[in-house]
Structure 1
Amino acid sequence: MATTHHVADVLAQHLSNYKEIHALTYQQQRVCQHIQDCRTVKLGAQQWQCDRCEHNKTVYCACRDRHCPQCQGHVSEQWSEQQSKDVINAPYFHLVFTLPHELNGLARQYPREIYSCLFHAVWQTLSQFAQRKKQLQGTLGMTAVLHTWGQSFAQHIHLHCLIPGGVLTSSGEWRGVKKPYLFAVKALATVFRAKMLAAIRAHKLMIPQSELLMKKSWCVHSKVNLTEPKTVLKYLGRYTRKGMLHEGRLKQVTKESVTFSYKDYRDSKIKRMTLTGIEFIRRYLLHVLPSGFMRIRHYGFLASACRAKKRDIISAQIGKYEAVNQGKSETPVPVSVNWPCPSCKQGRLILKSLCIKDAKIDGLATGSIIMNSG
């Protein structure tokens, strides 16, 4: 049976050596602490007992940090389920806007400002095209998610955008996109470049190699449009809630190095890369977001403030969305845990108590808490 490795194992082996060379920000320090404490006695434990036999199971609590690879899978499923009621019954377009690597250094110095500029520039670019295109002339809807990593964890800042194929005019009319693509990507890239650089200047930041960046072709990639609601939901979960690393990719963790698998998009083959433990941590911590920064944002008729109202207006014109959400309630249903008993194979495990002792949650020390369910 293959050994399972965790990012916590890497931190336990190499974080002390990393600190001798590199300084940690407060946010990076907190993330490292959360990952190391996740599912250990430091965050407390739940006591589960079978309702038919005397079997007991202790489950240690999760940190729920968005940078922790052990906490992302279940969150992704829950979030996709909640978003299912808001899927528009129309083709979706998937666009990816990428920052040139010349801006990586600036992003490391001013991450909040650069990432905010990226969201702003992308939405302004798409909105301009939607308003000026003769067949549309309305407001788009967009779900955008920030990724800062590539397959090898090097810095690769890009924004994934999922966009329903149509606009809502000021009079409430739905106008669908009739072509197999949303907008021409070369034209998008040119406008995106100008708006991104203008947004950075508005923050009074010095742009490195600005003349080169103005002449360079920026990358906007358009993927095949999505026509099935199930496919849209799969994309929502895949691109919005996944972390930078699924721990199944970790192949070996030693006192000297870390080996992991990655996909080389140049030939679409799965390969392995070995880094020193210090370099692996450096790359991993590049992607720690500023505290409170929203990496998933909704725009236009998908904005949280008006989504339900706009969705009803659109669905009345292009067909009911009940088929997409058949059997689903508007109110999110709490996810229940149903663990069969591994001992008697007949009963199920029921939560009996929760105990948290001297844990640190979001940097705040807590006292001992014991809660009994019976």
Structure 2
Amino acid sequence: MRGLHLADILNSGLGNYRQHHIMSYQQLRVCQHLQSCRTGQLGYQAWQCDNCSEVQQIGCSCRDRHCPRCQGMATAKWVQRQQEDLLSCRYFHLVFTLPHELNIIAHYNPNALYHCLFKAAWQTLCKFAKRKRHGQLGMTSVLHTWGQNLSQHIHLHCLIPAGALDKAHWHEIKKGYLYPVKALSTVFRGKMLAALNECDSSFAKVSTPTKWCVYSKACLTYSEKLVSYLARYTRKGVMSESRLVSATEETVSFKYRDYADNNRDKVMTLSCDEFLRRYLQHVLPKGFMRIRHYGFLANACRKRKLGLIKAQVSATPCKAVKPKVEQERLIPHWSCQSCKTGTLRFIGVMNLDEATNKIARTS
């Protein structure tokens, strides 16, 4: 039985939504990609059975980073590349959260707000590292703009190796936490407001609470957990289609986890317009990098500095990492629907006209 897809909701409700809401060019573009994904509008892939030699056509995917159907293979390949950079040490996981009063800026200038968030979080950690004389930290940060119920909840997940590089010497941080979260929250608030004021003085006029939230999760020790965290927090989209329960022309129901009620799984029903409004507010600006690396993990120096660190780490090497998706499965393959025994092998790509002509010749 065919499952419910986000494209089905867009096909049935986007026309009515556009009559009552103004959409940005980027939002329209993302909707077009999601609606055309694997429908044949983007062309077809030709796959041939290695047993009966029958050629079958499969619609091309849109490869949009917002598409929930196109992230599985990209996630597996990205995680495999990141495994080479894992260090055999503990990792700290910090979450920098913006107060909801700043959400209004995301509606008018999301690029500036998100850039300031990355900048403020890294400057906060650098200030504490300098004060503690730790040296240079490394950080992989990932922007999330959503909560479980698709509301706007802008926060930054940061994975930080438990150590610092002082010139060419690696110093492990042996404490159970990186820095006190209350002190981090205070400094982060100051850095964020300063960054907003530097970007646009009108941003600093937005009223915000005096207490901000920086949350520290439990340390990660084993590489197996780190790989799953990398996949979960770096390539995860706004919503997995497995959470969709039902949809009509008027309403959409989906599953969510209520953190305020002991993490219970619940079902929320929204009007189609409200569901699309919540979903589309998380469309990122074109070209915006939501995954960024800092310090000794920065792209410009990562290879050289990780080489220095790995040569000095004396801890017991981590267990061999077993990726969730094996190497041979990184190449997609399906069983033949005709002979039921063969496997389809990719042979080429056809545009819509070529596929139409081929169907006409064989019919």
Same-fold call, TM cutoff 0.5: yes
Aligned in 2, Cα 1:144/1:299: closer, same or farther, shift over 3 Å?
A: same
Q: Which residue pairs with 2:256 in the alignment? A: 262
Q: Which residue pairs with 2:361 in the alignment? A: none
Q: Which of 253, 268, 271 matches 1:273?
A: 268
Q: Residue deviations 1:50-76, cap 9 Å, x none?
A: 112144432111000011111112211
SS at match of 1:42: coil
Give the CA deviation at 1:156: 0.4
Give the CA deviation at 1:320: 8.2
Distance in 2 between the 1:111 and 1:353 partners?
A: 39
Distance in 1 between the 2:60 and 2:242 partners?
A: 21
Aligned in 2, Cα 1:5/1:310: closer, same or farther, shift over 3 Å?
A: same
Give the CA deviation at 1:340: 3.6
Q: Which of 200, 215, 220 matches 1:204?
A: 200
Q: Which residue pairs with 1:226 in the alignment? A: 220
Matches within 5 A, 1:326-345: 335-345=330-340
Q: Residue deviations 1:170-193, cap 9 Å, x none?
A: 2x1111111111110000000000
Matches within 5 A, 1:20-59: 20-59=19-58
Q: Which residue pairs with 2:166 in the alignment? A: 169
Q: Which residue pairs with 1:65 in the alignment? A: 64
Q: Which residue pairs with 1:123 in the alignment? A: 122
Aligned in 2, Cα 1:333/1:225: closer, same or farther, shift over 3 Å?
A: same
Give the CA deviation at 1:343: 4.2
AA of the residue aligned to 2:36: D
Distance in 2 between the 1:250 and 1:146 partners?
A: 23
Give the share of equivalent positions with the same residue, in percent: 51
Distance in 1 between the 2:231 and 2:29 partners?
A: 26
The question of whether the paired residues in 1 share the 8 Å contact of 2:196 and 2:204 is answered with no
Distance in 2 between the 1:200 and 1:321 partners?
A: 44
Q: Residue deviations 1:77-122, cap 9 Å, x none?
A: 1111110000111100110000000000012111000000000000
Answering whether residue 305 of structure 2 is matched by residue 313 of structure 1, we say no
Give the CA deviation at 1:355: 0.6
Distance in 2 between the 1:202 and 1:26 partners?
A: 27
Distance in 2 between the 1:325 and 1:272 partners?
A: 39
AA of the residue aligned to 1:300: G
TM-score of the pair, normalised by structure 2: 0.91
AA of the residue aligned to 1:317: Q
Give the CA deviation at 1:41: 1.1
Distance in 1 between the 2:321 and 2:8 partners?
A: 43
The question of whether the paired residues in 1 share the 8 Å contact of 2:224 and 2:322 is answered with no
Give the CA deviation at 1:348: 2.1
Aligned in 2, Cα 1:95/1:51: closer, same or farther, shift over 3 Å?
A: same
The question of whether the paired residues in 1 share the 8 Å contact of 2:224 and 2:321 is answered with no
Aligned in 2, Cα 1:333/1:201: closer, same or farther, shift over 3 Å?
A: farther
Aligned in 2, Cα 1:319/1:268: closer, same or farther, shift over 3 Å?
A: same
SS at match of 2:256: strand
Query: Which runs of 5 or more structure 2 residues have no equivalent in the other structure?
Result: 359-363
Give the CA deviation at 1:301: 0.4
TM-score of the pair, normalised by structure 1: 0.89
The question of whether the paired residues in 1 share the 8 Å contact of 2:222 and 2:318 is answered with no
Q: Residue deviations 1:242-291, cap 9 Å, x none?
A: 10100011101101110000000012100011111111111111001110
Give the CA deviation at 1:23: 1.1
Distance in 1 between the 2:321 and 2:102 partners?
A: 45
AA of the residue aligned to 1:18: Y
